[in-house]
Chains A and B, each alone.
Chain A
Amino acid sequence: MAFNFKEVMNKPERLAPGHRMCAGCGATIAVRTVLRALKPEDKAVIGNATGCLEVSSFMYPYTAWEDSYIHNTFENAGATLSGVETAYHALKKRGRLSENYKFITFGGDGGTYDIGLQSLSGAMERNHDLVYVCYDNEAYMNTGIQRSSATPMYADTTTTPVGSHSNGKMQNRKDLAAIIANHNIPYVAQSTLIGTMKDLYEKSEKAIYTPGAAFLNVMAPCPRGWRYDTPDIMNICKLAVETCYWPLFEVVEGKWILNYEPKKKLPIEDFLKTQGRFKHLFKPENEQLLVQYQEEVDRRWEELLFKCSR
């Protein structure tokens, strides 16, 4: 189905306002788009790992979710929704339910890349008919910007602070989309917030309506953790894609597909300089770190191109 922006925006809102996420939060922009991909006639159960999104969207007695919603703990969103999805099949089989339900669970990079990885891996491997959406803001933001395995190299976080003996996080970020793709599930995609959200919307639609397990990795900037002015979010996401820092791709039934290739790949500095967490990299003495950064981005981009060319 062709993407009709006006029609898409006309669909009912499934994340109500009044949640307590920070002004300018990238996570709720992502969530709104994912939920909009549900057919209005379909019901859904939403799962959520502990994190900013959870503590801000369901503060007793206020829920921002129009659909049924379950938060269990930080590390078990995958398993919890496995149980919900299985209950759905049990109730349908036994004639106690006739409506159609879809299952979507959200987790930050903390709940997904790190503490919840086992639970996610189990849910994916068992191929439950659900979508796990990671809103990746590249650090533990809910507890105050601590590094995660999704935090990029050299980012200044509160557990990898830049100092006279430190240039921030010293390790590369984990490639979670590839890890999940290697579970050989029907659908994996990486996306972020771009323009009309066509990319994220269409991937969400495929993820939700492809039978079996699906995983979406969505870069969702955090203005406080990344240190930029809230209005800049869309520009930052665009630069992440144009520098090939955050490529847009899908893995459909094991086939890697590149969704966008910049006509002219921008230097990584263009992305890094938009954010205070990388400010130290632009000191004259850190010139070599930028060279190294570019090499790593290039290496990973080439690897992705190779995967997508097969």
Chain B
Amino acid sequence: MSQATDITKINEQSPYYDITPGNQIYGGGGSRRFNTGEWRTQTPVIDWDKCTQCLLCTPVCPDSSIPVSNGRREDFDYDHCKGCGICEKVCSFGAITMKEGM
């Protein structure tokens, strides 16, 4: 019985012998390969001139889509941001604007 060890190759066309035993998945964070950014109907855009790097937008993102590096926020992870708009609302500096569409 052959068992796939590379979980990134498992998909809805995989034959039964490539499905991991017990549907167990080895290694964390594999959902990054799934693009939820396609769900957006509105898109947050940041104005770096207005952003003070206060970071208040970062913990409120339900989709871990405001990455922080060296104490500074980076641009949105548009592959995963679902466009909920919480970040825009918590920004006290008007640095985030929701734009219609993707």
Contact = CB atoms under 8 A, between A and B. Distances in A.
A–B contact (CB under 8 angstroms): yes
Interface of A: 5-7, 9-10, 13, 15-29, 32-33, 36, 57-69, 193, 195-197, 223, 229-235
Contact of A28 (B20, B25, B63, B90): B63
Tell me the interface secondary structure of chain A in the complex: mixed
Interface in B58-93: 58-65, 67-71, 77, 79-80, 82-86, 88-90
Interface in B1-39: 7, 10-11, 20, 23, 25, 28-36, 39
A23 B31 contact: no
Nearest to B59: A197
B25 A63 contact: yes
A61 B7 contact: yes
B45 interface: no
A15 to B, nearest CB: 6
B102 interface: no
B66 to A, nearest CB: 9
Given A17-B36, A61-B7, A231-B86, A32 B29 contact: no
A198 to B, nearest CB: 10
A196 B39 contact: no
Name the residue in B7, B28, B80, B90 with the highest tally of chain A Cβ atoms < 10 Å from its Cβ: B28
Contact of A24 (B56, B58, B69, B84): B84
A40 B58 CA distance: 18
A1 to B, nearest CB: 17
Contacts of A223: 84
A60 B30 CA distance: 10
Contact of B60 (A5, A29, A66): A29
Contacts of A32: 59, 61-62, 64
A23 B32 contact: no
Contact of A62 (B34, B55, B86): B34
30 contacts: A6-B71, A7-B71, A10-B71, A18-B32, A18-B34, A18-B35, A23-B62, A24-B62, A24-B82, A24-B85, A29-B62, A32-B61, A32-B62, A58-B25, A59-B31, A62-B25, A62-B30, A62-B31, A62-B34, A63-B30, A64-B29, A65-B28, A193-B60, A195-B56, A196-B56, A197-B59, A223-B84, A231-B86, A231-B89, A234-B90
B42 to A, nearest CB: 9
Contact of A64 (B31, B67, B90): B31
B32 A9 contact: no
